[in-house]
Amino acid sequence: MYTQLDENEIVILRIVRWLFIRLPLLFLLVNGINYVNTGKTTRGVVELVISAVLIAVDLFVIGRKIRRTKRQLKDPEYLEKLRNMSPEEEAKREGLLSLKCCIGCVIVCVGLFIIMPIAVQVKDLAVCLAGGAFLVLLSVVGLIWAIDAYRHPENLVRRRNSNKPVTERRAALYKDYELGYEPAMEQYCKQTGKSEAELTDEDEAIIWEYSYAQIAFLLAWIAEHDFYKPEGGDDPYLEELIGKIKAREILPTSYISENDGTLFEGNIKDEAIGFVREYLNNSDYINGHEVAKPGDIIGAYYPELEAFAAEHLKAEMLGFPFRWEDYDIFRTKIDRAYTRYMKKCGRQ
């Protein structure tokens, strides 16, 4: 269910609240009062101060987050937003939740097993430090995984769907996340001399064309070679758009715009999905540019498109619209890459 992550977050917060906040709090309060009553005022005050901090965390951090999450689960707009999330957006949410949990675990473990034992002068300090260090290490390993899941949600979706047939995959080959609009707007403003405040609705429509142009060349090639296929649950209108793209009645950016800035793996036929995936992902983002990975390269799509834009269009990435005359020049690069891929796979 689309609310499962939120419900899991509430459960995790409650576990943390009882195991790491309320139980230690009870122990500290009892000991602190006893120490004060027996004349060990300094140690008692230290434990009572730590107790006050734990109470504040319980009420104003964890408690507030639980209450807020519960309110969200009753909000129709929030539920509708969750319902419409793509698998990549859901994976990114999961990565963010894991990220917060791991950071919280590191803080809690450092506090309960390292700082607090030192503060209250625990006799078996070595045992506490060793246990705390071990738990912190586990949390750091989880933190590394969570960061990767948050930064590259498509990889998490791909791993989960690796055993499913292509027709069932909803991993995105391309997902804009609306990240392309800002740099596209900067490029457009440079070209036109306009400021952001001066942009009209027509200007914004052109900027979105700039943003989606980076995937439009490959989508045009997919449509032209009949490598597109509809999936169950897809809007029939999308398949109609692909037919119009093949006939060059509309631009490929129209499909991306109508499909929420997304192109899914499951919409590519079996005979082409391997090539398209490798052609798109065979590069690394280094110093602001896509750079082809070394080794057995069939041709990385984004570096080739960036070089094409610089040489033929005299423009930077996200600084040009899709045009069919430009596509007719660039598609030869895709054809060559596909031929190399087929030879590598022994299929030609």
Q: What is the pLDDT of residues 17-69, one digit of tens each?
A: 887 788 888 888 888 888 888 888 888 888 888 889 889 988 998 899 899 98
Which one-letter DSSP state was computed for residue 228?
B
Mean pLDDT in residue range 84-112: 76
Environment class of residue 331 by beta-carbon count within 10 Å: exposed (0-12), middle (13-18) or buried (19+)?
Answer: middle
**And the tokens for 257?**
């715009």
Q: Using alpha carbons only, how large is the chain's radius of gyration in Å?
A: 27
Yes or no: say if 210 and 321 are a contact pair by the CB < 8 Å rule.
yes
pLDDT at 288 over 90: no
321: Cα separation from own chain's centroid: 26
What's the CA dihedral at 136, 139, 141, 146 to 10 degrees?
Answer: -150
Q: What is the pLDDT of residue 32?
A: 84
Domain boundaries, the chain: 4-159, 167-344
Yes or no: say if 243 and 182 are a contact pair by the CB < 8 Å rule.
no
More reliable by pLDDT, 88 or 273: 273
Q: What is the pLDDT of residue 122?
A: 64
Buried b (16+ CB within 10 A) or exposed e, 203-224: eeebbbbbbbbbbbbbbbbbbb
SS3 94: helix
Alpha-carbon gap, residue 122 to 47, rounded angstroms = 12
pLDDT tens-digit profile of 95-104?
Answer: 888 888 888 7
Strands 172-175 and 289-292: unpaired
pLDDT tens-digit profile of 236-287?
Answer: 889 999 999 999 999 999 999 988 888 988 899 988 988 998 898 877 767 7
pLDDT tens-digit profile of 157-201?
Answer: 666 655 544 444 457 788 876 678 889 999 999 999 999 999 999
pLDDT tens-digit profile of 117-159?
Answer: 665 566 677 777 777 788 788 888 888 888 887 777 766 666 6
∠ CA 314-315-317 to the nearest 5 degrees?
145
**And the tokens for 160?**
């989960």
**And the tokens for 208?**
């979105």
Q: Is the pTM of this model over 0.75?
A: no
Q: What is the pLDDT of residue 166?
A: 41
Q: What is the pLDDT of residue 78?
A: 81
SS3 99: helix
Q: What is the pLDDT of residue 161?
A: 55
* Residue 235 φ/ψ region, left for φ over 0, alpha for ψ in the -120 to 50 degree band, beta for the rest: beta
Q: What is the pLDDT of residue 121?
A: 64
Residue 207: band (very low, low, confident or very high) from pLDDT cuts 50, 70, 90: very high
Q: What are phi and psi of 206, to 5 degrees?
A: -65, -40
Q: What is the pLDDT of residue 181?
A: 87
Strands 283-286 and 289-292: antiparallel
